[in-house]
């Protein structure tokens, strides 16, 4: 089948694979800051791997053929064909970037260490740029409802908002003390910050950030879930946090075999991406009502190494630690539908590759370069 992408025809396979089944020929050791799994998780994974190897050897000797590993409960059943590999993306005319945000209308906001740029859908160079940024600019988020673009600087904990059209600065505030911000999320005209001491909330652009009650530990990722009017986050200890009515609730740990590092909220559901316990998969479907985790995909002996994840609209994106390839997953089924090789390279800083996408548009940071990725019918963004 041929998918029309811009002015080029991209030939892709429409076949999909069960979640987590994509196998790469080469793996690159990626340096940079990375949160490693607990020691007990690594030991458990090694023990299970050794046991699995013995079981396979015995099964092969008695059955006379290669033993297959049974998938976990909830695994997607599909073809064994590997997902298609769309060609590399087109590099945009932007400087070294540290973060990206994509508005509902497809406008891209790219953030560099000392610049913020706006690029319209399909563009290759900035339409508007500003250098009036907080020191140590590290995170950008866009709120279409309030027509605000948010930028957080880590040097002074300054939080600035900008007009999305002119990029003129509208407001300034800051977090008090020596607090480090790890991620941003916007919901219903409000800003939420995941920090090293909990979750801060700005009800209005000019307000003073307030620490929400209910949790006072380090939070590594945060994401909005507009359809359920809630914000979800993951603590450093992999606890799942739910923010509603001005309070943080710690969700009891699920019996599922995934320790989440991030939650990917899509139009079709919520997915958790992180460390697989023992030889379990690295992704799990999240029950939207109970927030329980249901692992999806076949067993993965390398799952304790962990994975990075990013949400789209119809898909979500996963990169296995130590891998240079990012895999696109169907958010309805959890099946892998496309792979994007070499999106992470040796020496990339954490998070190795940042991806934002929806409705036929997908962008990534590779190293510090911003790429427009080719979307397909099976990986539309």
For the chain, the average pLDDT equals 79
pLDDT at 243 over 80: yes
Q: Read off the pLDDT band of 70 (50, 70, 90).
A: very low
Tens-place pLDDT, residues 140-160: 999 988 889 999 999 999 999
Per DSSP, the residues of 27-83 read --PPPS--PPPPHHHHHHHHHHHHHHHHHHHHHHHHHSSPPPPPPPTTPPP---SPP
Q: What is the pLDDT of residue 204?
A: 86
Q: Which of 47, 28, 31, 27 is nearest to 39 (CA)?
A: 47
Instruction: State the burial class of residue 369 (Cβ atoms within 10 Å of its Cβ: 0-12, 13-18, 19+).
Output: middle
Q: What is the pLDDT of residue 184?
A: 96
User: Mean pLDDT lowest for which of 24-33, 93-102, 317-326?
Assistant: 24-33
Tell me, rounded to whole angstroms, the distance of Cα 292 from its chain centroid: 19
Q: What are the φ/ψ torsions at residue 44 (nearest 5 degrees)?
A: -65, -40
Instruction: State the burial class of residue 370 (Cβ atoms within 10 Å of its Cβ: 0-12, 13-18, 19+).
Output: buried
SS3 (DSSP) at 157: coil
Six token digits for residue 285: 């479907």
Q: Helix, strand, coil shares of the chain as percentages rounded to 5?
A: 10, 40, 50
Q: What is the pLDDT of residue 206?
A: 79
Q: What percent of the chain has pLDDT over 70?
A: 74
Dist. CA 188–CA 193, nearest whole Å: 14
pLDDT at 40 over 90: no
User: Mean pLDDT lowest for which of 80-89, 102-111, 194-203?
Assistant: 80-89
Residue 229 CA neighbour count, 13 Å, CB half = 3
Q: Which of 41, 132, 83 is nearest to 318 (CA)?
A: 83
350, 304 contact by CB (below 8 A): no
Per DSSP, the residues of 296-335 read -SS--TTGGG-EEEEE-SSEEEEEETT-S-EEEEETTT--
Tens-place pLDDT, residues 57-67: 333 333 332 22
Q: Are strands 210-211 and 198-202 parallel, antiparallel or unpaired?
A: antiparallel
Dist. CA 195–CA 192, nearest whole Å: 10
Q: Which of 322, 316, 320 is nearest to 307 (CA)?
A: 320
Q: Which of 378, 280, 275, 277 is nearest to 332 (CA)?
A: 378
Q: What is the pLDDT of residue 84?
A: 56
Which residues are CB-neighbours of 67 under 8 A, at least 6 positions away?
Answer: 55, 56, 59, 60
**Structural domains of the chain sorted by starting position, each given as residue range(s) with its CATH number in brackets:** 2-372 (2.120.10.30)
Sheet with 137-143, strands from edge to edge, namely: 137-143, 148-153, 158-162, 169-174
Tens-place pLDDT, residues 112-150: 999 999 999 988 899 999 999 999 999 999 998 888 999
Residue 112 CA neighbour count, 13 Å, CB half = 18
Does the N-terminal peptide bond of residue 314 adopt cis geometry, omega within 30 degrees of 0?
A: no
Q: Which of 295, 259, 174, 272 is nearest to 225 (CA)?
A: 272
Mean pLDDT, residues 29-52 taken together = 38
Q: What is the pLDDT of residue 74?
A: 31
């Amino acid at each position: 089948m041929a998918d029309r992408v811009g002015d080029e025809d991209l030939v892709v396979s429409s076949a999909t694979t069960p979640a987590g089944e994509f196998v790469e020929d080469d793996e690159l050791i990626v340096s940079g800051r990375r949160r490693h799994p607990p020691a007990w998780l690594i030991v458990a994974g090694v023990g299970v791997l050794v046991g699995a190897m013995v079981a396979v050897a015995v099964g092969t000797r008695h059955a006379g053929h290669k033993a297959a590993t049974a998938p976990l409960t909830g695994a997607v059943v599909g073809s064994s064909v590997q997902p298609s590999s769309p060609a590399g993306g087109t590099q945009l005319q932007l400087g070294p970037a540290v973060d990206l945000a994509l508005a509902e209308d497809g406008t891209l906001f790219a953030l560099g260490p000392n610049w913020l740029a706006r690029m319209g859908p399909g563009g290759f160079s900035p339409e508007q740029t500003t250098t009036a940024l907080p020191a140590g600019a590290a995170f950008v988020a866009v709120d279409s409802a309030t027509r605000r673009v948010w930028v957080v600087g880590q040097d002074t904990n300054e939080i600035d908002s900008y007009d999305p059209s002119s990029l003129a600065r509208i407001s300034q505030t800051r977090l008090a003390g020596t607090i480090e911000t790890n991620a941003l999320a916007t919901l219903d005209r409000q800003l939420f910050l995941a920090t090293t001491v909990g979750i801060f909330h700005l009800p209005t652009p000019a307000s003073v950030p307030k620490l929400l009650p209910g949790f006072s530990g380090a939070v590594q990722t945060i994401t909005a879930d507009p359809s359920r009017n809630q914000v979800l986050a993951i603590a450093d200890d992999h606890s799942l946090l739910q923010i509603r009515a001005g309070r943080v609730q710690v969700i009891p740990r699920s019996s599922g075999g995934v320790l989440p590092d991030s939650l990917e909220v899509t139009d079709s559901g919520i997915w958790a991406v992180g460390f697989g316990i023992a030889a379990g998969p690295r992704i799990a479907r999240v029950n939207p009502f109970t927030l329980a985790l249901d692992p999806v995909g076949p067993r993965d002996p390398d799952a304790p190494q962990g994975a990075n994840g990013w949400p789209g609209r119809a898909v979500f994106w996963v990169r296995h630690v130590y891998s240079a390839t990012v895999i696109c997953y169907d958010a309805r089924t959890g099946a892998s539908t496309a792979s994007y090789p070499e999106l992470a390279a040796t020496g990339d800083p954490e998070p190795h590759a940042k991806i934002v996408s929806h409705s036929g548009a997908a962008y990534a940071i590779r190293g510090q370069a911003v790429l427009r990725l080719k979307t397909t019918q099976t990986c539309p963004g």
